[in-house]
Structure formats: structure tokens, C-alpha cells
Amino acid sequence: MREQLLALKEEVSKALGSVTTEQEVDQLRTRYLGRKGSLTQILRRMKDVPEEERPVLGNLANQIKQEVAGLLDGRRAQIRDEERQRKVREERIDISLPGRRPLRGAYHPLTLVTREIIAVFQGMGFEVVEGPEIDLDFYNFEALNFPRDHPARDMQDTFYVAEDVVLRTHTSNVQIHTMKARTPPFRVLAPGTVYRCDSDTTHSPMFHQVEGFLVDRDVSFAQLKGVLAVFCQALFSPDVPLRFRPSFFPFTEPSAEVDIGCFLCRGAGCRVCSQTGWLEILGAGMIHPEVFKSVGYHRDAYTGFAFGVGIERIAMLKYGIDDIRLFFENDQRFLRQF
Ligand code: FA5
């Protein structure tokens, strides 16, 4: 029995050599010291041992049991320690590595251009006003001297919300809202989103305009020219060539479209300007007496001018962008350039 006890300790000691997890240590503990374990099996035979030898063997059994328990505890602690060290090693953070830069947002090119336009006109005393994007036919067309069934309505392909309700096709509706609510003199700038059933590389179904208008007594076309010249020079360059071309809008008379000299070919003619040397950037004119009449002013009491600028068009010219859809795709590679 003595040999068996000593052999048991030997066996445990050997088995522990190939054990690598705490769980395996616990399995050994059950196998050797558990209720049905090897040690218990050995001690069962104590009754066959002569009585005088029992105390000595009993002591030895106790001693072996404690030593084996010590071996198991020791190995368990060792494994736990190794595991902790491995974790510390693997999860170490190198605090000397440079951090990941947070992505910084930036303004959309259309926001940049809109703000630039606003700043120029604020410098000339214009105040910024907003108007509704969903509006009554009256404000978008009727009061602007587009009678029903007038062919000029076909110039702008309209999204109808209901029979008399439209997504505004231009920011000119703000002229009517403002004039109905105020008495001149005033000079107002109205940037905003507009909608037309129109889509290609230079036309988008949703785009942006800035409307400007000034109403007072004795306003002249020369003043309109002066204001627009200041605007174009500030936005493009002090020596940008300007051209006023006769045009037609139902709500202005006389009407003009304004072109700037093509920045790419400097007037020689190229693909961007369709070989004309000029690029159209806005529509303008003297406010039509019929418009004053429809907002309740006496038709001869006031004079005024108005203009409407396509913001995408300005941004495309300024930044050399050849497809309007780039503004609305939110491609980071495009947006990062501004
Ligand atoms: C107008 O919208 C008039 N309300 C402008 C105006 C205001 C004239 C005040 C007189 C007095 P027009 O339809 O030409 O005009 O549009 C003005 C500008 O909007 C165009 O020069 C063009 O730059 C831009 N534009 C028109 N349609 C689109 C479109 N689908 N996508 C992008 N820009 C457009």
C-alpha cells in the first residue's frame, strides 16, 4: 500500500507535465483525489492492513494527499499566471503609434458658392429671405404674368403636387410673397431649391437658384447692369467680359440673359461654350408692371429689377465641373476636393 501511495504521487507529478489548461488540472484532481478517485480506492483497502500498521499508513496517506493537492494547486496557479502574461503581451497597446485621424466634414461646393453669392449681395445692402418650395400656382406662375394656357409655362417643366399646387420651378415666387407682404423700397436676395422635370449633364430635376430683386422709385436698367457687373467681377474675376443679350421672361420687361466670357477658351470658342466664346449665367430684367399690379401696387408707382442665377451653373464654371449630377451623388472623392 505504501508503494501504491508513493506511485500515485509519482503518477500525478508526471501527468501534470503534459497538462496545459486549468480545466485539465481539475480533471486530474477528480481522477486522483475525487470521491471515486485513485486515492479513495487505495484507502478502501486499509481494512485489510494489520491494525498496528494503520496509523503509519494513515499518516502517509494524508501526507501524500496534501502533497498531491499542493502539486495540483501549484500547476493551476502556474497556468493561470502564464495565461495572464500571454494576455498582457498580446493586448499591449503601443501608445507611441500615431492615432487615427477623425474624418473632418466640409461644406458642400454648392453651399460654398451660395455663401459667396450671398456675401457679395449683402455687401450691396441686400437682405436674405426664404420662400416656400411647395407653392400655389398663383405665386409660381399666375402673379408672375404667366396666364393659364400661356405657352411660356412650357419653358419650365413643372412637377404638380395638386391641381393648383406646384414644386416651385424658380425662386421668382419669393418676389410675389415679399411684394405682397411689404411696401417698397427693399432689396432682397432669395436663395433656395427649385424643381423641374428635366435631367441631363447640365440639368437636374432638383437644383438651386438665387433670386435678387430691388423695388423702389426710379430704378433703372443701368443700376441692374451695375449690380450684376459687381456680382460677376467678385465671383469670377475683375476683368471678366460681360454681355447682356435680349431675352424674354413674362415677369420682366425688358428682359435679358447675361453671359460671361468663356473662362476656358477666353472667347476663341470651345466645347464648353459651344464654340460661342460665351457662357450664360443668369436671367434678369425690369419687373413687369403686370407683376406690380398682381401684388396690389399701383402699376406706375414703383419700378424695380430682378434677376435669377442658377447656382449649380456658377459652381460648375468656377470649379470646372462638367456633370451636374456630381453635386448630388455624395461621392467622397468628389466632395473632398473642395
Ligand atoms: C428663371 O428661372 C427665371 N426665374 C430667372 C429670372 C429671375 C429672370 C428674375 C428674370 C428675373 P431660367 O429658366 O432661365 O430662368 O433659369 C435660370 C437659371 O437656372 C438658368 O440660367 C440655369 O443656370 C439654371 N437652370 C435652369 N434649369 C436648370 C436645371 N434643370 N438644372 C440646373 N440648373 C438649371
Look at residues 62, 90, 118 and tell me which one is the last residue of a structural domain. 90
Q: What residue's CA is closest to ligand 1, atom 25?
A: 310
Q: What residue's CA is closest to ligand 1, atom 23?
A: 310
Q: Does ligand 1 come within 6 angstroms of the Cβ of 284?
A: yes
Q: Does ligand 1 come within 6 angstroms of the Cβ of 303?
A: no
Beta bridge partners of residue 212, listed in sequence order: 189, 307
> For helices 109-122 and 221-235, what crossing angle results, to 10°?
130
Residue 100 falls inside a structural domain: no
- pLDDT, position 212: 98
> Do 29 and 132 sit in the same domain of this protein?
no
Helices (H), 51-189: 54-90, 109-122, 137-140, 173-181
Q: How many domains does the chain have?
A: 2
> Do 164 and 85 sit in the same domain of this protein?
no
Residue 10 falls inside a structural domain: yes
Residue 288 falls inside a structural domain: yes
Q: What residue's CA is closest to ligand 1, atom 2?
A: 170
With a pLDDT cut of 90, the percent of the chain lying above it is 66
With a pLDDT cut of 70, the percent of the chain lying above it is 99
pLDDT in tens, 75-85: 999 999 999 99
pLDDT in tens, 237-259: 999 999 999 999 999 999 999 99
CATH number at residue 289: 3.30.930.10
What value does the mean pLDDT of the chain take? Answer: 92
* 109, 200, 255, 287 alpha-carbon torsion, rounded to 10°: -60
Ligand 1 centroid to residue 135 C-alpha, Å: 17
pLDDT in tens, 54-96: 888 889 888 999 999 999 999 999 999 999 999 999 998 888 9
> Do 76 and 116 sit in the same domain of this protein?
no
Residue 317 falls inside a structural domain: yes
- pLDDT, position 219: 98
> Do 228 and 158 sit in the same domain of this protein?
yes
Query: Which of the four pLDDT bands, split at 50, 70 and 90, describes residue 271?
Result: confident
Residue 234 falls inside a structural domain: yes
Q: Does ligand 1 come within 6 angstroms of the Cβ of 67?
A: no
Q: What residue's CA is closest to ligand 1, atom 9?
A: 307
Q: Does ligand 1 come within 6 angstroms of the Cβ of 137?
A: no
- pLDDT, position 269: 86
- Written as nine digits, the cell of 137 is 400656382
> Do 300 and 191 sit in the same domain of this protein?
yes
- pLDDT, position 234: 96
Query: Which of the four pLDDT bands, split at 50, 70 and 90, describes residue 141?
Result: very high
- Report if pTM > 0.95: no
> Do 135 and 63 sit in the same domain of this protein?
no
Residue 95 falls inside a structural domain: no
| Distance of alpha carbon 239 from alpha carbon 233, whole angstroms | 7
> Do 83 and 113 sit in the same domain of this protein?
no
> Do 130 and 260 sit in the same domain of this protein?
yes
> Do 79 and 126 sit in the same domain of this protein?
no
Q: Does ligand 1 come within 6 angstroms of the Cβ of 208?
A: no
Q: What residue's CA is closest to ligand 1, atom 30?
A: 203
- pLDDT, position 201: 82
Q: Does ligand 1 come within 6 angstroms of the Cβ of 139?
A: no
Q: Does ligand 1 come within 6 angstroms of the Cβ of 145?
A: no
Ligand 1 centroid to residue 252 C-alpha, Å: 14
| Distance of alpha carbon 145 from alpha carbon 149, whole angstroms | 12
Query: Which of the four pLDDT bands, split at 50, 70 and 90, describes residue 329?
Result: very high
pLDDT at residue 267 is higher than 80: yes
Residue 22: which domain range? 2-90
pLDDT at residue 233 is higher than 80: yes
Nearest alpha-carbon partner for 114 in 307, 310, 323: 310
Q: What residue's CA is closest to ligand 1, atom 5?
A: 308
Residue 310 C-alpha from the chain's centroid: 23
> Do 152 and 185 sit in the same domain of this protein?
yes
Q: What angle do CA 160, 163, 165 make, to 5 degrees?
A: 55
Q: What residue's CA is closest to ligand 1, atom 15?
A: 283
Residue 233 falls inside a structural domain: yes
| Distance of alpha carbon 229 from alpha carbon 120, whole angstroms | 11
> Do 76 and 117 sit in the same domain of this protein?
no
> Do 283 and 189 sit in the same domain of this protein?
yes
Residue 254 falls inside a structural domain: yes
